[in-house]
Amino acid sequence: MLSAGSLIWRRKRLSVADLESKDEATDGRARNVSCNSLVATFQPEWEAEYLEYCFQPSLLRAVLCMASIWFIYDISAVCFSCLPPTDGAGGNLSWLLVAHIPQTIVGAFLLGVSILVGRLSLRNALSRHYDLLCVCVILAAYTALIFPSLVLELRRARFQNPDQPHVHWSISNSPSSLLPIRICNDSDPIRSWSNSSDQSPVGCSNSLLSGSYFGTMLMGTLSPMIFRTSARAALAACLLLSLVLLAACVAAGTQPGAFGFPLAVQLATGALAAFFCHRGDRRARAEFTVDKGLRYAAEQNGNLLYTLIPRDVVAHCRASDGPGLVGRTLPHVTLMFCALERHAEMQAAFSERDFHLLNALFVEFDDAVRAHGMYKYQHVGEWYIVACPRAARPFDEEEQAAPYPALHELQMLALASSLQRLAAGHLFL
């Protein structure tokens, strides 16, 4: 028993802080060595942790908010406008409302998803299904953007614009053809060009395949790169967007020769986006593997440190500023110093067999210490030092404020008997 004992640790940056910051100090070398030595390749069982590691809700939320605001603004401008359509396609304001209904639905959908993304309770589910969520968002936004152009082509076929009497177009459903056929005749292309505006297509041009469509196509097929999805998700998005374009062109009666090239460009752009997504995913997995290896090394260093200094003391040292002594006076603790009688004899004629015997013995010592509720304070040289739990947690205010348990003395005596029996069993006494 020690009365009014004092336990003091000297806080040195090398012993407390450097074991964790050493990897950062040698970051360039560690990134090339620790990953190969500790974790060679990405393991399949890390997939869920990797998805959580790569999940970026702030980026997704920002993109969804901007897209939803744009869709809501666009439909609001149409709803609150008292002017008739000015795109030269015929029809009244109700046709414009029909054309923008998908934008209303998609805008509300994107706004709702952006709110859900910010919920911490859904983070795990969203990270696991991030690719599926991004594909749904891209598909919905692309459909909402291309639908007004499809409605515009249907209006041009249904209504004859009095301002362009020289242009005649229609969508024919011939019994001899399984698909609709778009027919358009422009007897005065120069007049059509001179009377065109930014809001109306020129003559017989197809608004589904216009220049603005290529902007929509690029935005849709390259979106997986912005969201940083997997290559599989990028390919799935590209195929779905191509099906939407194909369905819209067929519904508008567009001939295959007209939409074949844009469709091929869209597929090629989607394949390029998938390639960059695949390359980015490989780089992210490699960085995750290195990061996991470094964290594993830091954990092992911490475990080594905890064999020398109690966790409670290490935590207090980290909270302290600058080097110096970190200690606390304990009024009542129980310590035990143990040494093997044949230690000097074995040290003089040390062999591999003695090493394995000592290792096995001290492993049993450690198990016995834990079984009796004590703490192995240090094992230096021939001394094996055991402390009571109060000495192992000197900065635990609740532990130190409680009355000192008399049971610690009895447990320490029982532990001493157990250690003697273990040493005798290994023929050291």
Query: What percent of the chain clears pLDDT 70, i.e. is strictly above it?
Result: 72
DSSP secondary structure letter of residue 291? H
Report pLDDT digits (tens) over 184-207. Answer: 766 666 666 666 655 555 556 777
CB 100 within 8 A of CB 148: yes
Q: Alpha helix (H) ranges present in 307-428?
A: 311-319, 343-348, 352-371, 389-392, 397-401, 407-425
Nearest partner of 331 among 1, 6, 70, judged by Cα: 6
Nearest partner of 357 among 426, 420, 418, 429, judged by Cα: 426
CB 46 within 8 A of CB 361: no
The CATH superfamily assigned to 335-428 is: Nucleotide cyclase, GGDEF domain (3.30.70.1230)
CB 305 within 8 A of CB 15: yes
Q: How far is CA 173 from CA 170, 251, 394, 416, in A?
A: 10, 10, 88, 98
Distance of CA 318 to the CA centre of its chain: 29
Per-residue confidence of the chain (429 residues) as pLDDT tens digits? 333 333 333 333 333 334 344 444 444 433 443 444 444 577 888 888 888 888 888 888 888 888 888 888 777 776 665 555 555 566 676 777 787 788 888 888 888 888 888 787 888 888 888 999 999 999 999 998 888 888 888 887 777 666 666 666 667 776 666 777 777 766 666 666 666 655 555 556 777 777 767 777 888 889 999 888 999 999 999 999 999 999 988 888 888 878 888 889 899 999 999 999 999 999 988 888 888 888 888 888 877 777 667 677 777 777 666 666 667 777 788 889 988 877 667 777 778 887 888 888 888 999 999 999 898 877 777 788 898 888 877 877 777 888 888 888 889 999 999 998 888 877 544
DSSP string, 373-402: T-EEEEEETTEEEEE-HHHH-TT-HHHHHS
Encoded tokens for 233: 């998700």
Calpha distance 317→312 (Å, rounded): 9
Report pLDDT digits (tens) over 139-185. Answer: 999 998 888 888 888 887 777 666 666 666 667 776 666 777 777 76
pLDDT at residue number 367: 92
Q: Strands 181-186, 375-380: parallel, antiparallel or unpaired by DSSP?
A: unpaired
Calpha distance 232→278 (Å, rounded): 8
**Can you tell me which residue has the tokens 């779905």?**
240
pLDDT at residue number 20: 42
Q: How many CA atoms lie less than 13 Å away from 420 in the CB half-sphere? A: 8
pLDDT at residue number 45: 82
pTM score, whole prediction: 0.61
pLDDT at residue number 13: 33
Q: Residue-wise over 41-56: b if at least 16 C-beta within 10 A, else e? A: eeeeeeeeebbeebbe
Report pLDDT digits (tens) over 382-409. Answer: 788 898 888 877 877 777 888 888 888 8
Calpha distance 330→335 (Å, rounded): 12
From-to residues of CATH 3.30.70.1230 in the chain: 335-428
